[in-house]
Chain A
């Protein structure tokens, strides 16, 4: 069965970087794009970007351009999201979500990774 398993919670200081991983299993990793979405406490969802695990191509939300980097490791079926220059407003749960492909909806989600930015 399809599973997306994310890395554990992180606590970071303002100005630092964080790298969250999302390990996929149960399907052919390179066949589906992966998105990253975040949810601040008590808030809705904010789309951050997408990575194509096959070729590594990415597209980022304008808000995060220059601060976010998405990469993948095909040998371990893992995608990564690194966010730099962290500020308190980046405190959120970060999710990876698989794009089924044809119609662009997210059929599987990781369990979420809480990133707390605090001095």
Chain B
């Protein structure tokens, strides 16, 4: 199975801050990397697919980059509604595997 490792596991930031979350795969997954946002008690929401493609309706302050084993999710200017947990997921092979999550909290 492909292991996905996110860092950091949590972070504190202020509204307006630039936030970067990284995700590393245990082997090369090309660009088959997706990012989801989850708020408490809710289902995940797709933000970024295939490493850098913004899902319809997702604000442009979210962006993704990377290929191979190293990937990044960036929020250019953190908004109050962005406080949530973020997960990366590989869709290169089954079993689909997820990172352990990064919780973004208010500073």
By the criterion CB–CB under 8 Å, are A44 and B43 in contact?
no
CA distance A61 to B93 in the complex (A): 12
By the criterion CB–CB under 8 Å, are B50 and A103 in contact?
yes
By the criterion CB–CB under 8 Å, are A44 and B91 in contact?
no
Q: Mark A95-106, 1 if CB is under 8 A from B, else 0.
A: 100001001111
By the criterion CB–CB under 8 Å, are A111 and B43 in contact?
yes
Q: Is B32 an interface residue (CB 8 A)?
A: yes
CA distance A23 to B44 in the complex (A): 18
Chain A count of residues within 8 A CB distance of the other chain: 21
Q: B23 → chain A, closest Cβ, in Å? A: 12
By the criterion CB–CB under 8 Å, are B94 and A44 in contact?
no
Chain B binding surface SS class? loop
**Interface residue ranges of A34-55 to B (CB < 8 Å):** 35, 37, 44-47, 50
* Candidates A50, A95, A100; contact of B94 at CB < 8 Å: A50
By the criterion CB–CB under 8 Å, are A106 and B46 in contact?
yes
By the criterion CB–CB under 8 Å, are B98 and A105 in contact?
no
B32 contacts across to A, CB distance below 8 A: 103-104
CA distance A62 to B94 in the complex (A): 10
Q: Is A107 an interface residue (CB 8 A)?
A: yes
Q: Is A59 an interface residue (CB 8 A)?
A: yes
* Candidates A62, A103, A111; contact of B49 at CB < 8 Å: A103
By the criterion CB–CB under 8 Å, are B46 and A105 in contact?
yes
